Amino acid sequence: MISELAETIENRWGSNPMLMPRVMSVTLSIAVGRGGEVLLRASRVLEELTGQKPVQRRAKRTIREFGIRRGEPIAVTVTVRGKKAVKLLDRVANAVDRRIKASAFDEFGNFAFGIKEHIEIPGVRYKADIGIFGMDVIVTMGRAGYRVAKRRVKRGRIPKRHRLNKEESKVFAEKYLKLNLISDSE
């Protein structure tokens, strides 16, 4: 059943190259829960991984139990696009042995997974002055023409027939990104 579906999907992609999915962006996020020196170290980790300067995220509301005040910086995030995003995804996927749960995909074909320790990423060494951080990896998938919905001038909407769905994204992840999808029970 799945192989028949995959075959049908790939035939569609072959008949129209505009339907071929692509990785639009990869977002890495480290949520520390407090500001200060720890947040700066997390920022250095992301900067070393991507070569880009991370952005601080602030708390949306006060949570007294965790000691978080509204507006306080609590996380850092960085978004990578283009060929650099595909290379980064290839590196961070090795940290989880290229295994991703099938439930990690949403209805628009995007998927996310977590890394418990950043030193599991190939090429990253442990530094005592930085420490160890876990991070979330969010992969945004799309197709050619998705810019129509994001641009400033003459913005349009993407019709349903051109939107990416969960099944197509799974087929793309298995075949082109070489990811192994596992069931939720494993």
What is the full DSSP assignment across 86-109?
A: HHHHHHHHHHTTTEEEGGGB-TTS
CB 180 within 8 A of CB 99: yes
Q: Which amino acid is at 14?
A: G
How many domains are there within the chain? 1
Whether 1 is in a domain gets the answer: no
Phi, psi (rounded to 5 degrees) for 108: -100, 5
**Nearest residue to 138 via CA among 109, 167, 163, 113:** 113
In the predicted model, what is the mean pLDDT of residues 55-84? Answer: 86
pLDDT, residue 1, reads: 43
In the predicted model, what is the mean pLDDT of residues 7-26? Answer: 89
Whether 164 is in a domain gets the answer: yes
In the predicted model, what is the mean pLDDT of residues 129-147? Answer: 90
Q: Which amino acid is at 178?
A: K
Residue 128 has pLDDT above 60, yes or no: yes
Q: Structure pTM?
A: 0.88
Range of the domain at 147: 22-182
CATH code assigned at 56: 3.30.1440.10
pLDDT, residue 131, reads: 86
**Which residues, other chains included, contact 166 with Cβ-Cβ below 8 Å and sequence gap of 6+?**
105, 106, 107, 108, 109
Whether 77 is in a domain gets the answer: yes
pLDDT, residue 186, reads: 62
CB 168 within 8 A of CB 109: yes
**Which residues, other chains included, contact 13 with Cβ-Cβ below 8 Å and sequence gap of 6+?**
19, 20, 21
